Amino acid sequence: MDIEIRPIAGEELPELVRVFGTVFGDPWPDDAVAEFPKLFEADRSMCAFDAQDGMVATGGAYSFELTVPGGAVVPAGGLTLVSVLPTHRRRGILRALMQRHFEDAQARGEPVSILTASESLIYGRFGYGLASSAADLEIDRRHAAFAGSVPTGGRVRMVAADEAARLLPEVFDRVRRAHPGQVSRGPAWWDLYLRDPEWSRRGRGPRVNVVHEPAPGQVDGYASYSLKQRWTDGLPDNTAQILELMAATPEAVASLWRFCLDLDLTTTIELRNRPLDEPLRWCLADPRRLRTTLLADFLWLRVLDLRAALATRHYAASGQLVLEVAVPLVPENDGRFRLDGGPSGADCTRTGFEPDVVLDVAALGAVYLGGVRFSTLGRAGRVREGRPGALARADAMFTSDLAPWCSTDF
């Protein structure tokens, strides 16, 4: 295979965008191409070049912090922009790109790689596990009354982009550091989010940002929404899309949802990319009215340094497990490891002891953030119990108070 894989120079960024847009059938507008260098980490690019045809495959990564159970964070390589031209499929190029990404992430001290998948079938064979899911929800505004016992208070007010730039990142950082599955966002990401250029809206209206103040000068939550206009028989029939809602307190959660559900001229409220344990359903007087329109995988996770990854997160219950893990492409993580963990921390070392649980690295990625129980994977035939009671012990250790949730698409 006469293929070279290498990082690209700045002048090659438009070609990366062209190849990626060709594969996905979605050419980028000129304004989006101009924004691209501000967000993309060119030194983490890994594009494939055919000696005759030029660039034929693309890939890159973002340098993230990933929150794990217990409130710790681990460095994570966020794989992105992976594509292979249809003329060059079935030649091992994707496998070579993945191997290069794994090597790069390990060299940077990132014990895990994460991604959001365009096709859910692809990445399991490279050891990624389905680590978090998300839901799109919808409710008719006429049936969105709250139960009488739900407390709301404080003040919700709109903020312009300059004030939002000061307030929203701080609130987000508080929330993401407490929520497994969330990743860090850099200044360039926030700049694009708050400017909300026309090309990024894909038919929706301009983004509106509001914050919740429990007391003057304090902010503990925000929501961003846009309106899709529609008039039916002369009557307002708008849809409000809640693009993001982040809140650090229960009062902020309830108050911001109450604001969003009371928007004038709307009949339908759409909630995008919400966690599986979204509390809004339990605020409603009639919870059946909150309909799930999509439930899908979101974050996929691949463990690259098993000992570092398992030792960084905390565990809900104290205990010891011997894990036998099969790891393709990163053989130094293949074998048996003893995990001693609890609420205050953990240690993970190689061992020769008989295994309590036998699994592959994709299953380990699935359970790592607490998004699925070992026993569930056991019933699915994805993990095997080596000693009686081991799956129940693993369930108790790996469970998370909050369902893992990543609100950042990359």
Residue 280 sits at φ, ψ, to 5 deg, of -55, -40
DSSP 353-376: SPPSEEEEHHHHHHHTTTSS-HHH
Q: How far apart are CA 260 and CA 89, in angstroms?
A: 46
Q: Is 29 left (phi over 0), alpha (psi -120 to 50) or beta?
A: beta
Find all residues with CB under 8 Å of 379, minimum gap 6, and list them. none
- Contact at 8 Å (CB) between 37 and 10? yes
Quick one: 107 exposed, middle or buried, by C-beta within 10 A (0-12, 13-18, 19+)? exposed
- Contact at 8 Å (CB) between 275 and 357? no
User: Which residue, 19, 47, 13, is CA-closest to 33?
Assistant: 13
User: Which residue, 102, 94, 115, 83, is CA-closest to 15?
Assistant: 83
Q: Is 20 noted as a catalytic residue in this protein?
A: no
- Contact at 8 Å (CB) between 5 and 45? no
Q: Is 168 left (phi over 0), alpha (psi -120 to 50) or beta?
A: alpha
Query: Which of 40, 49, 374, 410 is an active site residue?
Result: 410
Q: How far apart are CA 215 and CA 238, in angstroms?
A: 32
Q: Is 368 noted as a catalytic residue in this protein?
A: no
- Contact at 8 Å (CB) between 62 and 78? yes
Q: How far apart are CA 133 and CA 404, in angstroms?
A: 8
Across-strand partners of 295?
A: 135
- Contact at 8 Å (CB) between 57 and 83? yes
Query: Which of 62, 64, 123, 298 is an active site residue?
Result: 123
Residues annotated as catalytic are 123, 410
